[in-house]
Structure 1
Amino acid sequence: MDLTNNSIENILVEFFKSTDFEKIAKIQSLWSGYGEIARYRFTSPKLVQKFGIRQFIVKHISPPRQVCHPRGWSTSVSHQRKVDSYQVEVNFYKTFAERCDDQCLVPSFIGEHRFIENGNPCQLILMSDLDDQGFPIRATNLTVQQTKLCLRWLAHFHAKFIHSSSDHKHNGLWEVGSYWHLATRLEEWQAMPSSQLKESATNIDKALNNCKYKTIIHGDAKVANFCFTPDFTDVAAVDFQYVGSGTGVKDLIYLLGSCLSETDCKNNFTLLVNDYFDCLTYALGLYQPKLTANLVVKEWQGLVDLAWADFERFLVGWAPDHKKRNQFSQMITSRALASI
């Protein structure tokens, strides 16, 4: 049935069997106007004790009737990808989030609810609030040392969920993790001008997808999706809409391109890539002692440039004037193409 404008509060009252909560603030709108994320808090000690948290996040997914994409990609393919991504996120929180420890911390799943609002299918996702758990700081760029924090998180996350390609079960996640992978971005590929990168896109995609050692990758590991302690000594991550199977270096290159200036990338790329693999080796020893870490590292090291070129391919079609398409990015892409 259709619900009133007060539907979210009504649903939460039913979910918690209580009215002892309040909305603190809207945090942000979802991409392309697909809803909002808001912060709530419990107003009774009983609920705080029951759920073990004082504050919680409500992600309200409400697809608009008229989609307005910031870069004009308002197609049925784009819409379905976003709708699917929210269910993938729920599946991750339900099945995988509880396996993440303090070295790759994520929000705790509280619950979900589907409903009809103004004739549209909508969804609520409830999770713990990382701000209240000691991670209130967000950043738009990072120092090299701060970047290493995120690399440590990625390495532990990847090591936690690594598997060989022969024993992988997707369990409701994307078959190929990352929001830019080729099979879901054919419109953007078609928009590319003729080039060696366009012609090589399929081969790059196959090399990344056919690697022996796969893990669950975050899929959107940009700096905005990491939450830091005030002293930048620890980090957690959010936003698991594009989590799925793949090589961990897809997250690695996407993070570095999102948080560092072109100069910092140029001067520290090799250093940071090596730091990631050092962390990965340690984390594999911690979580996967029966696995030969050197074999994983050797395979993934050979995919770093290809992963970078794969994202560059997406940008060329999606936003050719994007600031990430700098000389350093094109240099890595050229190096990848020369290796094919």
Structure 2
Amino acid sequence: MTIDKAVISKITTALKAQSISEIEVIQSLWGGYGELFRAKLTGSQYSSVIVKHIKLPQPESHPKGWNSALSHQRKLKSYQVEANWYQHYAQLCGSGSGSDNDRQSENSVPQCLYIQRSELETLLILEDLHTLGFDQVLTHADHTAILASLKWLGHFHGQFMANQFTTSQPSTVNTTDLWPTGSYWHLDTRPDELQALSDQPLKMAANTIDRTLKQTPYQTIIHGDAKLANFCFNTHHDKAAAVDFQYVGQGCGMKDVILLLSSTLTFTEPHKLIEQYLDYYFSQLASSINLHQPDINPKEVEQTWRPLYCIAWADFQRFIKGWSPKHVKINAYTEMLTAQALSQLTTSSK
């Protein structure tokens, strides 16, 4: 893959580098919307940076056949949201700059070094997490990495927590330029997959599931795509940092938790272990709430969110079963939780 010379020039100018000594292409962006690459620099204070060059064509095809104007608009919006996140919100999380302790905080994210936007292109230059000690990208998570990811989520959710039924909003930011509903699979943006869903009880409950998650009294900013591939780890896997904020927005933290577990579990684990993962997440969430939102009772948040664990799984199953009915994430464990969610909703409506 050849990187446009104009892009190279913008990088060197923006970072006051003498030159770019090496380009390492990480991946093409989903659907042919540009590229993600690492640029190694000479003569700059940054030895390397991550560059996300977003170009916005209408793709001709989609790997799983889901190609539509709606899909295209969802991608456009996702890149706008991501640029907003890095430009205005990322600095509120753990910064990669400053002291050694700051370089690996509880909810580290790469900081935005430069951004340029036009109608058809966005150029994002971000800190390279590899230079900050997060140089491990895992395809299979060990126990330590799962805990580190849950810790990241707990501290992230706690920092941006708000109780929507209070008059004073403790949330740190106004999220109007993020997704009003975080996550890439939420119902409003997935009518095609809902139409294709053959599980009729789940289909009939889709709106109730969606409404239950949206109306929980405690809302936060969720990552929205908190799968293993979007975390980087230190050498020992006990600290994590997150990337790829295209679907960041308001929501219930359980949505991030179930997506992370969907990408790390083998689905043969004893239920007791998964409960321990949830316990650990809530302990980290409580620590963060106590630090950032002292007016919110973390026990009340846990009592509100724990029953939504199965609801969040059912919400994801609604999407995945309509999108890819033979997917590995559809299995006995996820079907059990979906059935539990439907039963729980039926009981609560009586």
Q: TM-score, normalization: structure 1?
A: 0.92
Contact 2:234 2:240 in 1 (8 A): yes
Contact 1:141 1:260 in 2 (8 A): no
Could you report, residue by residue, the CA deviation over 1:175-207 in whole angstroms, capped at 9, with x for unpaired residues?
Answer: 000000000001110111251100000000000
Q: What amino acid is the match of 2:23? A: I
Q: What amino acid is the match of 2:84? A: N
Shift of 1:115: 4.7
Confirm or deny that 1:87 pairs with 2:80.
yes
Q: What amino acid is the match of 2:130? A: D
Taking structure 1 as reference, are residues 223 and 281 closer, same or farther at Cα in structure 2, changes over 3 Å only?
Answer: same
SS at 2:232 equivalent? strand
Could you report, residue by residue, the CA deviation over 1:14-66 in whole angstroms, capped at 9, with x for unpaired residues?
Answer: 4345543344311111112211101012201xx30xxxx32111101123453
For 1:313 and 1:142, the matched residues in 2 are separated by 25
Moved over 4 A (4+): none
Q: Which residue number in structure 2 is paired with residue 100 of structure 1?
A: 93
Paired residues for 1:1-340 under 5 Å: 5-16=4-15, 18-44=17-43, 47-48=44-45, 53-101=46-94, 102-115=105-118, 121-165=120-164, 167=169, 169-264=174-269, 266=271, 268-340=273-345
Shift of 1:163: 1.0
Identity %: 40
Contact 1:88 1:243 in 2 (8 A): yes
Aligned length: 327
For 1:226 and 1:18, the matched residues in 2 are separated by 28
For 2:259 and 2:59, the matched residues in 1 are separated by 30
For 2:264 and 2:273, the matched residues in 1 are separated by 12
Contact 2:145 2:240 in 1 (8 A): no
Contact 2:31 2:59 in 1 (8 A): no
Q: What amino acid is the match of 1:196? A: P
SS at 2:185 equivalent? coil
Contact 2:144 2:237 in 1 (8 A): no
- Which range moved further: 223-232 or 135-144? 135-144
Shift of 1:165: 2.1
Shift of 1:266: 4.2
Could you report, residue by residue, the CA deviation over 1:214-256 in whole angstroms, capped at 9, with x for unpaired residues?
Answer: 0000000000000011121211110000000001110001101
Shift of 1:320: 0.7
SS at 2:129 equivalent? coil
SS at 1:41 equivalent? strand
SS at 2:269 equivalent? helix
For 2:290 and 2:196, the matched residues in 1 are separated by 44
Taking structure 1 as reference, are residues 66 and 179 closer, same or farther at Cα in structure 2, changes over 3 Å only?
Answer: closer
Compute the RMSD of aligned alpha carbons. Answer: 1.7
Structure 1 residue runs of 5 or longer lacking an equivalent are none
Taking structure 1 as reference, are residues 239 and 265 closer, same or farther at Cα in structure 2, changes over 3 Å only?
Answer: farther
For 1:83 and 1:73, the matched residues in 2 are separated by 15
Q: TM-score, normalization: structure 2?
A: 0.89
Structure 2 residue runs of 5 or longer lacking an equivalent are 95-104, 346-350
